[in-house]
Structure 1
Amino acid sequence: MADPGSAGAGTHPNAAAGPKDATTPQDQPGSPSSLGTEATASNNLGREKTNTAVPEPDQDEAQGDGAPEKPKQPGLVSRILTKLGLDVGTLMTMFKGSLPPTIAIAMYQATPVASYFTLLGYLVPVVSILGLAVLPRGKFLMNFLLNVLAVCFGAAMAMLTLWSAIKARENTTPSGSNPALPGYNSSQSAVCGVWLFFHIWLGNVVRAKLPAFNLPVIIYSILVNVAATNGAYMTTMAYAYGFVQQLMTAMLVALALALGVNLFVFPISSRLVVFKEFAGTIGLLRRTVSLQKAYLISLESEDMFAPVTRTTTAALEEGKKPRLTKEERAARALQEAGGRLRELSGKLHADIPFAKRDFAWGKLDAKDIGHFFTLIRNVYIPVLGMMTMIDIFKRVSERRGWAHTSDLPDEVIAEKEREKRIWNEVMKQMHEPFEILSQAIDQGLEHAGICLEILPRPKQAAKPNVDVEARGEKIAPGDPALAQVIDKKIETFNARRGEILRTWVKEQSFNPRAEEFDIPSPLSDSPEGREHDQVQLYIVLYMENLMHTSGKAVQDLVAFADKKVADGTMSRNRLIAPGYHRLRKWFKAIISSEDSSAEQSPDLTETSNTIVIFGDGYNHKKDPEHLPPATAWERFGNGLRQISTFFGSEESVFGFRVACATMTIGIIAFLKDTQHFFQEQRLVWAMIIIAIGMTMTSGQSVFGFLCRVAGTVVAMVCSLIIWYIVNGRPAGAIVFLWFFTFIGYYFFLKYPRFIPAVMIIIVTQVLIIGYELQTLKIGLEAAERTGQPFYPTYLLGPYRLACVAGGSLVAFFWTIFPSPLTDRTWLRRDLSATLYLVANYYGVISSTLRTNLDGTAGNIDTPGTPAHHLHRIGRKIFGKVMMLIPSMSQHSEWQKWEPTIGGKFPREAYDDIILRSTRIMAYLTLISHALLYPTTTALSQGLETRTSSERPTSACPSVTSSPDREWLDALAKVLNTFTLTHHTILSTLTLLSNSLLSGQSLPPFLPLPKPYELTRRLMRLGHSEHFNPPREYEDDIDGSRIRLVDSRTGVENSYSHEYGHKRAESGATTSPHAKAAADLLDPKNIEQPGYTEFAVLQVCTTLVCDDLSGLVRAVSGLVGVVDFSFRYEQSEESIVSAEHNKGKGKVE
């Protein structure tokens, strides 16, 4: 599918709320938990570049560097730098991050600067750190604008607060007294306290609701904290105005420093980050294809159904681990590469929107970047799909009981050996075609990367990269003629595909009727044997479809690259700026808690004189307690209800918690007896720690508390070293402070999990050293003017530690009091939302399949058609799931830090649900991709394949010409007699989602589809004279018919209703489609449009069903089952005891 920029689907209580979680790293550049992903973007510049040339040794001929010289052994320094990951990109980013606070502190040594900022100079380096100059330009500019907005709005609110406080002082001063005289005023302090509570609550509601405002709200909180706590002393508006102006200027100067460093010191654009991620994706794709080839080679001789390890007697005697089979080693290497590719594609999915909005002087514009991303995604979806062969063979082995051969009967072992021999021969026959395809994919990816300047062009003196034609012509990637060579290789591959099928047929029994057709049909004696043969055919076609689709996708990618070169796009640079539409969409995304929403009401679109009514899945979630408003007064009432909903929301509760935590310490500043103590001990920093460290979930709060305390201890030690190693001299202290900050950013980049600790270390160092340098500059008398005594460094460090520990402890207390929102609860809700979105995704695919079969889908590129709407909905659902997956993984890690009271947390069950739901989403993506990009090339040898100009870019079976729709029409007619499997899958996924969300038990029986159930029914229908519907339509107890009722109307399903009348009239009737069904699955139809897609659908649906069964087991283990049955069980001891006591009674 695609990036989530289009219309929405069905809603779920947490489907939209999940991605906005504070721990979601992808779309929110301001969230602290996301800083690792974003700050390492420039770090990727060095690392991802190495991923662009990762072929296996056996692919050297495909890479074309000839016989490479033996590389020199790296030296000790190089090995250390490589071990630490200190490449050029990392060092540049470390230096870039350390500059803003260093410049701010050095700038304060100038007398004009020091005389202006006086005691607020420490805020400049602190806020410059929070400005995050290390972010790529697109994300930084977004953050910068929001930060400036927060500072300006905070300054206005601070002035309002101080004006109200001073007016309260004036109105409560006794007549005859001068309100300008200093002194404590309870009304003034109370007003400041109330305003501070409101500011903190409001800011954190916005922070929780809109994660993009996370850092801006922290800066806003610092501003209002400082203003409100100092406001209790102010007596005149002139002083208040000057103070706020000074405070705002300090923060704006800090943000300006971060802006200058980001734009002029090693500037890194979001486009550059995306291009490097593109390069890494190309490299990982080439490596994955190479490993896939190695895996298929291992299947030529290995037993793909055997256990993953082999244990020898010698190994058991020596106590060694059992060695892995060759097939398992290849499979593990392939899965590892696939995992890295998925991770990188997730980063791309998140970074693409920022690259599209970036200003640049370059060649590819936003549309080009988006189109290239779509094309590269079309390559990695089928390439990653090939990895499912590992799951397929494993599940076949488990389903047939072949995992352990020690206690299997001889006939089962013989059956397994027969199946193994068939697949060994198929894989041998697949070797040469896949070798041709892998070369074409490798060359095409490199060619596209070179033409679009994503990969570096090889040096002119180097030998050509690859012998691209058997005739000996040397055409390197980047040459315009390479596209024709790749097309020829794909044509050669398509011509060889039929040999794989003939090899499979040769290994089967032959059908006597096969002489009538070009391809013989296998025939087994038993229904089970026929089913196994049909499943083998499906898997063969499934693999061929993935290989064909990946080759076609590479052709499209090469064609796009050549087009950009031919039309002059790559010949010169030009100014690239986002348009009005893109900026408007960006602004809406910032102020919205979710992506662009779906239509408010069902669309009525007239297509071919037919009214298309879209279902409830396209609308917002309904309110079960209120009907949709029909009048203006009812709509006004809905608006009023939103007010109470807002104040009762989780975001409002979180803001209330943060405000209470802040006032726990802030109240000291507003009481007469403790006001001076607050100033003397600098407790405002404890309030700032609360603003920085307060989180919504308890697990993250515990981890953050430990990180901040440990980080402050480290910062205190580092500050003592920085200050005393140079004997307190400003020049030396600034240099050492820069060096320690520079080192700190290494951990910031390499260990994103510990970003809270690293940020505290850097900020605390800057505060301690900055305060000492500030005192040296302005003098001791000026430093103590506000009542804060001067502390030397060895005392100031422990005071800072106490403030941080106290603030973190208060934040932790208010996170869990009065009741905590645990990461375990959030994980469960995210899982529920994911299952619900997967159910929606499956519903979209089922509707797409149905409209394709009926021929009513229309053109996917025409707005308003069902195909276009379904595609947009699917893209948005896919994007939401992509954002929820990292959120679930993070909550799964955070929950480790939550104290367990009572039974243990069932993490294995939750991890199993995450894994299975992710796999189901991957299988559904393969189905969607197969429907969107069908196989149109005939499989029989000698049939001409279509040229690249004839390949539709967005075709689907529904738009095929009418003569080619015969098989599809026959399939559609037969499917109309069955209750579709998607009803049960969709219902089960939705039920599991609701059960996880509410904690309610599952029903004792769920209608789970069987693997290849549709194939089984078609075969049963085709090999019998009468159509007897399966037993699942009858109740097990009384034999009565089970009704299938439409949830929307309460009306019985049309098929079950019609079938009931037919059965009442004449038991078993002859199906009108029995003859058509007899030929539907015959291999002679594999050339028909839609047959291969049907095979992909059957294989992927079976994989979905297997994981769905596992989901039911895992969820039922968590929430239980509604079961009131009972049974009697007696052990032998109880029976003996009963007989022994027989005849004994109570003696009166």
Structure 2
Amino acid sequence: MSDGKNSPSLLKRVEELLPQWIVVNLRSKQQWKALIRCWVATWAGFILLLPENSLKTLGNAAFFSTMAGFMVPANMPVQMFIMAMAMLIIGMLFGWGVGALAMKIALAARNQTVLKSSLLRAQEGAQGAVNPDAVFIADVFEGMFLDARSSVIFGVFLGAASFLFALIRTYRPRLVLTITFAQIVLNIFSSYGPLFPIPQYTIVSSFLISVSCYVAIAIVCIIFVFPETMNHSFLASVTDIIGRLKDYIDSQDAILSLAPIEIVEDEKGTVAKAKAARAVLLQDVQALASKTMLINVEFSYGRWNGDDAKALEVPLQHTVARICSFYSIPKLFEMYYRGQRNVSTVSIHESTSEETSIDADAADIHGDTELVRQMFAHNRTKELEHNVRLDDILPIIYESTSELRRTSSQGLKAVQDVVREVNTFRWKRGSSKLQEYERILDEATEDLRRTVEDFKHDNRFRIIAPFMQLIQKVDAKEVSAKGLPIRSLLVGSSYAAQLLISTEALLSLFELVRETSIKRRRSRVWAPGGLRVLWKYVFHRGDDDETSKLHGEEAPPREMTKDEEEEEAPYRLDPDSRPPANAFQKVMDTVHNVYRWLKSNEVAFAFKYAFLTIALWLPAVFPSSAHFYYSQKGFWALIMAQNTLTLYSSDQIFGYFVRLFGTFVGLVVGLVTWYIGNGSGNGNAFGCAASYGLFLIPMIFFRINATPVVLLPTITAATTFVLVVGYSWVDGHLVTIGNAGIGWNVAWKRWVLILIGCVASFLLMLLSPTSSRKAVRLQNAAMVSELSNIYTMLMSAWITEEEDESKEDSPSKISDEEKGANIANKSTTNAAWMEKFKGRILPLALQLQNLKRQTGSARFEGNIRGAWASEEYNRLLEREMEMLGAMAQLASALNHLDPKWRITLNHRTLVLNPNFMTDVLSTFALVSQSLRTGEPMHQILPSTLLDRLLYHKTKRNTRAGRLIHQNTAAERIRSLDFMYYSAGICAVSQIIWCLDDMHRIAKQLCGEIPFKGFDEWKGEYERMYRDDVPDEDIKTQ
């Protein structure tokens, strides 16, 4: 009995020790099916090596029939697998073609006199031999027929092609798999081609035959072993995303049940887990794009066709974006307590023990002016007086929104069940479960819609209730409307607004799924829609390609769209010359651009890559080392050197760690596999097959489920594992020149080759290394600049709407037709700028996630010149992410606000004040320029933006004031628009706070030019100002 009770707890403890991605995939039936399919395909590829006849047919590279299973596993739909394998095989054919062309020219360039003399000498040496052909082949690999002219031709082709491959690898990461295998084939062809005095165009045929065998086996397995279409894969991903959305909403319960100070400090890691889940959601949504491109290029059977599945992508993106906006709530709490920390320097009231436990931040205190600190002090005093601190309001926020969160979670569970049922039971003509799930979805949708209405008309007033007595005093003229302690009300209403906005997206998603389910009542065969998307899929410059992560490379910056290029063209000028005016100037401008390109980091990397390739290839064409190079498989050192050389030195150093670790693990597993299955002999087919099949299971599991961080060492370990077992079997059963040995001999030689390749690329890295840290700094500068552009676009749209609304409110007489046309045009304009805004938010969020990974890898450059400010860069990146979320929140608030309330928001925040907008954009430019150039900033430029916002405060517009004050304060706060207004207020506050902090971080990174005596004069001036301004004026700020 005790054993039964203890076993679950033991299993749970074991699961807690494992990474979460392992536990999740171990529990997934879909992943187990993929594991079985990939295992069968890869193991069957290994079985081909064991019979003698098939081994002779495949040749000495026969192990590629199973190694290809790790490079492109059969865990994908058939058309996607064919696409991936086609790219691999096209790469091999391209390398083969370049090598064959090089051989053709090299043979024609040979010195015929020397060639005839060498052939005559070889014939004389083979006379009397039992096997003259074997003697001739031995002479070939001894380097007897090497010719300088021929070797130079091969070297030129190898160097030029390697330069091209390096550029493609840098600029088009989707083609990395193609280029890698093209380079491998060309390496082998160029290493062994110069040895032959006669045409030998089939040197690499063994590689192609072996890979082709795996392709045939894998296609059969994909079709018959748990087959999966792209449609099924896409809907399975949608199901997983919906499940993660449900978990993310459920995590809000745990967060809101904490005290505000616990949320800020996050000692239990609850907020950190939600933050990590948010990052995973964004990555998963972006990954859907790679599947939608190919979803119509297949025959599929089921209820929904490719277009039905693709229709879920955009609503799902909007839902994820809106639900992920909950991430801003902990940051609002942090801003709230930051104000309390700053108040600790102003002795107005004694703070409570809970509040004094928060340590003051010197940088924050230094950044705020005396006026701002007094404003915080006044607000805190009023909150204590009226019991409306955030600690008092948070439990009310939790209770009032609990039903909304619960029904949202139930709705997501219902829609997940419907999509899963549609996707799983495709072959059933009728499904009682699906009908039941549809009924539950209908009920959940109605429950959510009813809960939303209840919240709008009832529950949301619970957040307002603690403030109503104070608001009624304002209406009764007992207290001033200025300086009210409503910060916690704004935070609570902002959260409620974000929740309401999220439910709108959820309801749209629910209705779309329900409509599609009703429309498609029967399963049928769906034919492919077209093949034009294939070109776009292959040559699209994406940053989510898995193969680009195999080499430790970071994704390139996002390409600008055509509209963005046209928008930037008029104002992006060359400060050194005017635009070319004639043909000669245009030609010279092109030459200038080419020269600038030749000085880029990408071209420098390509030159180093080509130089490294030639340097490690030369021993293959020297007569004294040619035989040693061939017999010891020296081309593997060349391949490893090429793969470890990367654009940035930190990525390269990180690659050494993971590749050496993966190689060591692969050698150990390979040796254990070989000796368990074969003992001390040359190989037992049955024992080797059984042992390989057993150890193949964990290798395949890690390969198909590994996270990006674990993927590179996993592939390295898997390929090393295959090489140890494969070479041991091939060398034990096939007569070859330069036998590498069996078991241990293969392992230690492989380790030495890996070390040679790593050392060679490391030495070349030391020649003009490209710092990843500098790239991180420059990319942060570019991100700040892009945030500035998004802010400008948002403000521009806001200003345009303000002008339109002002015209609508003008007393001029216009016809009803003109009014209708204005409304239609305004609606179209709003939709246009919102769609454009959404189209820039998600790509930038993913670029920030990529930059976060690169910031983490930059630590591997070491601290040779001094410690790297990784903490500051990580904090800068956090602020950029938070600002992006705040801008999305502000755009959503503007989209939902009534025009009159939008004017209210303008005059409440003064965010559209031209002088303040100038200050904001100047700060953006200053931070971006300082990070880009590394130049220090002046101490006094600019001051905090909050201080500047108060400085620019002016009297409200008279007409706007009449519009705002038509209702009492209580009626205005009870209005539904007040929640969206609060979300806008909080978003603007967060943008200001993030930009101020980014300014401080940039000063810490780049330095600060001091202004002697300024701090003393500033303090004295502010004290004079405080003494001169009446207390009532301070309170109203």
Same fold (TM over 0.5): yes
Any residues of structure 2 matched to 1:974-1053 within 5 Å, and which? Answer: 978-979=913-914, 981-1007=916-942, 1010-1011=945-946, 1021-1022=955-956
Contact 1:162–1:192 (CA under 8 A) maintained in structure 2: yes
Distance 1:852 1:802, change over 3 A: same
Distance 1:283 1:114, change over 3 A: closer
Shift, 1:811, TM fit? 1.7
Shift, 1:405, TM fit? 11
Give 2:133's aligned residue: none
- Stretches of structure 1 that go unaligned for 5 or more consecutive residues are 1-69, 309-324, 466-473, 515-521, 604-614, 936-956, 958-964, 1028-1070, 1130-1148
Give 2:873's aligned residue: 910
For residues 557 and 1004 of structure 1, the distance between their equivalents in structure 2, rounded to whole angstroms, comes to: 50
Give 1:549's aligned residue: 501
Q: Does 1:763 align with 2:719?
A: yes
Shift, 1:538, TM fit? 3.7
Give 1:701's aligned residue: 652
Aligned residues: 916
Letter in 2 for 1:840: N
Give 2:286's aligned residue: 349
Give 1:116's aligned residue: 57
Counterpart pick for 2:173 among 211, 224, 235: 211
Shift, 1:920, TM fit? 1.0
Aligned residues: CA RMSD? 4.3
SS in 2 for 1:689: helix
Any residues of structure 2 matched to 1:451-600 within 5 Å, and which? Answer: 451-453=418-420, 478=440, 480-497=442-459, 499-500=461-462, 503-508=465-470, 510-511=472-473, 513=475, 524-525=479-480, 530-533=482-485, 535=487, 538-566=490-518, 568-569=519-520, 571-575=522-526, 577=528, 579=530, 582-583=533-534, 585-590=536-541, 597-599=560-562
Contact 2:151–2:194 (CA under 8 A) maintained in structure 1: yes
For residues 862 and 141 of structure 1, the distance between their equivalents in structure 2, rounded to whole angstroms, comes to: 47
Distance 1:810 1:133, change over 3 A: farther
Contact 1:860–1:871 (CA under 8 A) maintained in structure 2: no
Distance 1:591 1:713, change over 3 A: closer
SS in 1 for 2:526: strand
Shift, 1:914, TM fit? 1.2
Give 2:673's aligned residue: 722
Shift, 1:720, TM fit? 3.1
Contact 1:274–1:352 (CA under 8 A) maintained in structure 2: no
Counterpart pick for 1:282 among 225, 242, 262: 242
Contact 2:404–2:452 (CA under 8 A) maintained in structure 1: yes
Letter in 2 for 1:996: L
Distance 1:563 1:1122, change over 3 A: same
For residues 724 and 381 of structure 1, the distance between their equivalents in structure 2, rounded to whole angstroms, comes to: 53
For residues 697 and 794 of structure 2, the distance between their equivalents in structure 1, rounded to whole angstroms, comes to: 51
Counterpart pick for 2:863 among 900, 908, 913: 900
Q: Spell out, residue by residue over 1:860-911, the C-alpha distance to the aligned partner (whole angstroms, 9 max, x if none).
A: 9999965455345434432332332232222233233223213211111111
For residues 976 and 1015 of structure 2, the distance between their equivalents in structure 1, rounded to whole angstroms, comes to: 57
Give 2:409's aligned residue: 442
Contact 1:131–1:255 (CA under 8 A) maintained in structure 2: no
Give 1:388's aligned residue: 328
Q: Spell out, residue by residue over 1:12-45, the C-alpha distance to the aligned partner (whole angstroms, 9 max, x if none).
A: xxxxxxxxxxxxxxxxxxxxxxxxxxxxxxxxxx
Any residues of structure 2 matched to 1:767-846 within 5 Å, and which? Answer: 767-778=723-734, 782-784=735-737, 788-789=738-739, 791-814=741-764, 816-846=765-795
Counterpart pick for 1:743 among 678, 695, 698: 698
Bigger helix share: 2
Task: Give the % identical residues.
Answer: 16
Give 2:641's aligned residue: 690
- Stretches of structure 2 that go unaligned for 5 or more consecutive residues are 123-139, 352-376, 426-431, 544-555, 808-820, 1017-1037
Give 1:227's aligned residue: 189
Give 1:1032's aligned residue: none
Q: Spell out, residue by residue over 1:745-803, the C-alpha distance to the aligned partner (whole angstroms, 9 max, x if none).
A: 3444346534333323322232232223223433xxx312xxx1452433222111111
Letter in 2 for 1:445: L
Letter in 2 for 1:659: A
Distance 1:631 1:204, change over 3 A: same
Q: Spell out, residue by residue over 1:806-831, the C-alpha distance to the aligned partner (whole angstroms, 9 max, x if none).
A: 112112222x2212123322322332
Distance 1:697 1:270, change over 3 A: farther
For residues 985 and 697 of structure 2, the distance between their equivalents in structure 1, rounded to whole angstroms, comes to: 56
Q: Spell out, residue by residue over 1:95-114, the C-alpha distance to the aligned partner (whole angstroms, 9 max, x if none).
A: 44444553333213344433
SS in 2 for 1:695: coil
For residues 791 and 584 of structure 1, the distance between their equivalents in structure 2, rounded to whole angstroms, comes to: 45
For residues 287 and 896 of structure 1, the distance between their equivalents in structure 2, rounded to whole angstroms, comes to: 33
Any residues of structure 2 matched to 1:666-677 within 5 Å, and which? Answer: 666-677=617-628
Q: Spell out, residue by residue over 1:1107-1142, the C-alpha distance to the aligned partner (whole angstroms, 9 max, x if none).
A: 21111111111111244647999xxxxxxxxxxxxx
TM-score by length of 1: 0.71
Contact 1:169–1:188 (CA under 8 A) maintained in structure 2: yes
Counterpart pick for 2:887 among 910, 921, 924: 924
Contact 1:190–1:670 (CA under 8 A) maintained in structure 2: no
SS in 1 for 2:955: helix
Any residues of structure 2 matched to 1:116-135 within 5 Å, and which? Answer: 116-134=57-75
Give 1:471's aligned residue: none
Q: Spell out, residue by residue over 1:266-299, the C-alpha distance to the aligned partner (whole angstroms, 9 max, x if none).
A: 445555454344334433433443443455465x
TM-score by length of 2: 0.78
Contact 1:538–1:1098 (CA under 8 A) maintained in structure 2: yes
Counterpart pick for 1:1104 among 978, 983, 991: 991
For residues 805 and 1087 of structure 1, the distance between their equivalents in structure 2, rounded to whole angstroms, comes to: 71
Q: Spell out, residue by residue over 1:216-242, the C-alpha distance to the aligned partner (whole angstroms, 9 max, x if none).
A: 2111111001000001111222xx223
Distance 1:601 1:391, change over 3 A: closer
Any residues of structure 2 matched to 1:160-309 within 5 Å, and which? Answer: 160-170=101-111, 173=114, 183-237=145-199, 240-269=200-229, 271-293=231-253, 295-296=255-256, 304=260, 307-308=261-262
Give 2:95's aligned residue: 154
For residues 651 and 771 of structure 1, the distance between their equivalents in structure 2, rounded to whole angstroms, comes to: 36
For residues 671 and 680 of structure 1, the distance between their equivalents in structure 2, rounded to whole angstroms, comes to: 14
Q: Spell out, residue by residue over 1:1015-1035, the C-alpha distance to the aligned partner (whole angstroms, 9 max, x if none).
A: 9966x515xxxx9xxxxxxxx
SS in 1 for 2:301: strand
For residues 77 and 475 of structure 1, the distance between their equivalents in structure 2, rounded to whole angstroms, comes to: 32
Contact 1:768–1:797 (CA under 8 A) maintained in structure 2: yes
Shift, 1:151, TM fit? 1.8
Structure 1 window deviating more from structure 2 (820-829 vs 679-688): it is 820-829
Contact 2:244–2:281 (CA under 8 A) maintained in structure 1: no
Shift, 1:669, TM fit? 0.9
Structure 1 window deviating more from structure 2 (95-104 vs 197-206): it is 95-104
Shift, 1:77, TM fit? 6.7
Letter in 1 for 2:725: I
Shift, 1:666, TM fit? 1.1
Distance 1:439 1:902, change over 3 A: closer
Give 1:731's aligned residue: 686
For residues 107 and 675 of structure 2, the distance between their equivalents in structure 1, rounded to whole angstroms, comes to: 44
Shift, 1:204, TM fit? 1.4
Give 1:336's aligned residue: 273
Letter in 2 for 1:399: G
Contact 2:468–2:970 (CA under 8 A) maintained in structure 1: no
For residues 830 and 549 of structure 1, the distance between their equivalents in structure 2, rounded to whole angstroms, comes to: 32
For residues 683 and 809 of structure 1, the distance between their equivalents in structure 2, rounded to whole angstroms, comes to: 14
Distance 1:401 1:600, change over 3 A: closer
Give 1:1048's aligned residue: none
For residues 723 and 381 of structure 1, the distance between their equivalents in structure 2, rounded to whole angstroms, comes to: 51
For residues 192 and 169 of structure 2, the distance between their equivalents in structure 1, rounded to whole angstroms, comes to: 25
SS in 1 for 2:914: coil
